[in-house]
Amino acid sequence: MIQSFEYALPVVLEALTLTSAPSLDLYTKWPRSELETFETISVPCFGGTPRIHVIISKMGRYVVYAKERAVAIQAVCQASKVCQSVFQHLVANETLTKNDKSPVTVADFSAQAIVNTYLTKAFPQDPIVGEEDAQDLRGESGRMLREKVHSLTNGVLNDSEKLTEDQILQAIDRGNYGGGAQGRHWALDPIDGTKGFLRGGQYAVCLALIVDGVVQLGVMGAPNLPIDAAKPDGERGTLFVAVRGQGAFQRAFSQEQETKIHFADIDNTHNATFCESVEAGHSSHDDASLIAKELGITRPSIRMDSQAKYCSLARGDADIYLRLPTSKTYVEKIWDHASGNVLITEAGGKVSDIHGQPLDFSVGRTLDKNSGVIAANATIFDSVLAAVQKVLNP
Ligand SMILES: Nc1ncnc2c1ncn2[C@@H]1O[C@H](COP(=O)(O)O)[C@@H](OP(=O)(O)O)[C@H]1O
Ligand SMILES: [Mg+2]
Ligand SMILES: [Mg+2]
Ligand SMILES: [Mg+2]
């Protein structure tokens, strides 16, 4: 614990100069009395130097989110490991069909148990909105799955962190928070794109920190995404990180050095590439092709599962993401978009729903006030929105 302002100041400045101006603005608002709540931790840092010490605050408002960033990265990396190993050994009875007919696997449950365990250890007061719950793992009918999730989860946690079956069920069910507009909570999709995961396509472990209804931090692990889209057969396993006001970064799973990422330069939609879900039931392919025509796009769409689409845009592999409603009743979930949302804005993009409204993460577990999603480079966003509105006439 650092007690003295004089000692803390240079280290605070060192930490803040690593980030962009908004964080420096935060410093000026920092009440002197709160300096006593700082602690020093070691985190992977941006571009080059392997590790530095930074100061963090335990007070929600004035943090640079250094500890949150480091913990989220560790949790997502460990959960991604489980997904990778499960994929190689998944057997038929390790996948269930949920009430909404969507699939869930032992990897989804284990990834949620792992991330929630790390979050709870580091931030015991923070509630979590997680996609899965442990209902199907309880009782005699859930025994086989429960045992499998138990061994997978403990396979990743180190000796001092090992959990009993009951503790694993509790960890998963810590994701039952209702969300809302006040305070901090995490949003977790342990595997986004479970269908992609099952077919060997793209999927992502997606974790976001939401504070007073606004996404502040997003970390995504995409185990099947090539580190360089220009080398599709090259190394796979890419981690994406964004903190509001501090930029967007990617790194390989295999190393800690991060690279700053940004949308591709584009000023005309004719030259754009757009991406959409593989599943026509998640986003209307027919409407997307009409919108593409309206925008003068000639390149075929990139169909990709999961929030890897947001990642692809953020590093310039594609320019537009269209998620166009296929039914009037489906409501998007916050865990399907929270981490992608901050990644897009930090990489120079804009996100809205089909009405042009920002995604509202303050209304609970769902994006109840929104319909569909559009993301694009800020330079062409207005043209894309206009085309969406012309075609859908929402
Ligand atoms: N009718 C629907 N419309 C839009 N999204 C849907 C949907 N049914 C399911 N989804 C969501 O689509 C997500 C996958 O998105 P994508 O098509 O971009 O890969 C799923 O996440 P999970 O795989 O985490 O369940 C699920 O939450
Ligand atoms: Mg699901
Ligand atoms: Mg999802
Ligand atoms: Mg999921």
DSSP string, 333-350: BGGGTHHHHHHHHHTTEE
Higher model confidence: residue 256 or residue 225? 225
CATH 3.40.50.880, domain 67-261, yes or no: no
What is the phi/psi pair of residue 218, to 5°? -135, 135
- DSSP E strand stretches across the chain: 39-44, 51-56, 95-97, 103-105, 128-130, 184-192, 204-211, 214-226, 236-243, 247-252, 259-261, 274-276, 302-303, 320-323, 349-352, 373-377
Distance CA 207, CA 347 (A): 17
Is it the case that residue 99 has pLDDT exceeding 70?
yes
Check residue 28 and give its pLDDT: 37
Ligand 1, residue 307: give the atom nearest the CA.
Answer: 18
From 46-50, 120-124, 217-221, 375-379, the region with the lowest mean pLDDT: 46-50
Higher model confidence: residue 389 or residue 57? 389
**CATH number for the segment(s) 269-392:** 3.40.190.80
Check residue 94 and give its pLDDT: 87
ipTM greater than 0.95, yes or no? yes
Mutate to test the pocket of ligand 1, among 282, 313, 370 (most ligand atoms within 8 A of CB): 282
Ligand at minimal distance from the CA of 196 is 1
Q: Side chain identity at 30, as an amino acid letter? A: W
- Mind listing the pLDDT tens digit for each residue in 213-228? 999 999 999 999 999 9
Query: Which residues in the chain are classed under CATH 3.30.540.10?
Result: 67-261
SS3 369: coil
336 CA distance to ligand 2 middle (Å): 9
- In this structure, the strands spanning 95-97 and 259-261 are unpaired
SS3 89: helix
Question: In the structure, what pLDDT confidence band is assigned to residue 66 with cuts at 50, 70 and 90?
Answer: confident
Q: Which residues are annotated as a binding site?
A: 131, 189, 191-192, 336
Question: In the structure, what pLDDT confidence band is assigned to residue 177 with cuts at 50, 70 and 90?
Answer: very high
- In this structure, the strands spanning 302-303 and 274-276 are parallel
Q: Average pLDDT for residues 168-184, to the nearest whole number?
A: 97
Give the residue, by CA position, lying nearest to ligand 1 atom 7.
282
Ligand 1, residue 325: give the atom nearest the CA.
Answer: 3
- To the nearest whole percent, how much of the chain has pLDDT over 90? 75
Ligand 1, residue 333: give the atom nearest the CA.
Answer: 27
193 CA distance to ligand 1 middle (Å): 7
193 CA distance to ligand 2 middle (Å): 7
Q: Average pLDDT for residues 352-376, to the nearest whole number?
A: 98
pTM here is 0.87
Check residue 251 and give its pLDDT: 96
317 CA distance to ligand 3 middle (Å): 21
Mutate to test the pocket of ligand 1, among 104, 192, 274, 337 (most ligand atoms within 8 A of CB): 192
Higher model confidence: residue 256 or residue 302? 302
CA-wise closest residue to 97 among 190, 195, 173: 195
Give the residue, by CA position, lying nearest to ligand 1 atom 12.
282
The mean pLDDT of the chain is 86
Q: Average pLDDT for residues 347-363, to the nearest whole number?
A: 98
Check residue 245 and give its pLDDT: 77
Ligand 1, residue 104: give the atom nearest the CA.
Answer: 25
Check residue 385 and give its pLDDT: 98
For ligand 1, residues with CB inside 6 Å are: 102, 131, 189, 191-194, 196, 277, 279, 281-282, 305-306, 326-327, 330, 333, 336
Is it the case that residue 178 has pLDDT exceeding 50?
yes
- Mind listing the pLDDT tens digit for each residue in 279-299? 999 999 999 999 999 999 999
336 CA distance to ligand 1 middle (Å): 7
* Residues designated catalytic: 108, 194
Query: Which residues in the chain are classed under CATH 3.40.190.80?
Result: 269-392
Distance CA 1, CA 19 (A): 23
- Mind listing the pLDDT tens digit for each residue in 123-171? 999 999 999 999 999 999 999 999 999 999 999 999 999 999 999 999 9
- Mind listing the pLDDT tens digit for each residue in 19-48? 433 333 343 334 444 444 444 444 443 443
Check residue 338 and give its pLDDT: 98
Check residue 165 and give its pLDDT: 98
Q: Average pLDDT for residues 3-13, to the nearest whole number?
A: 36
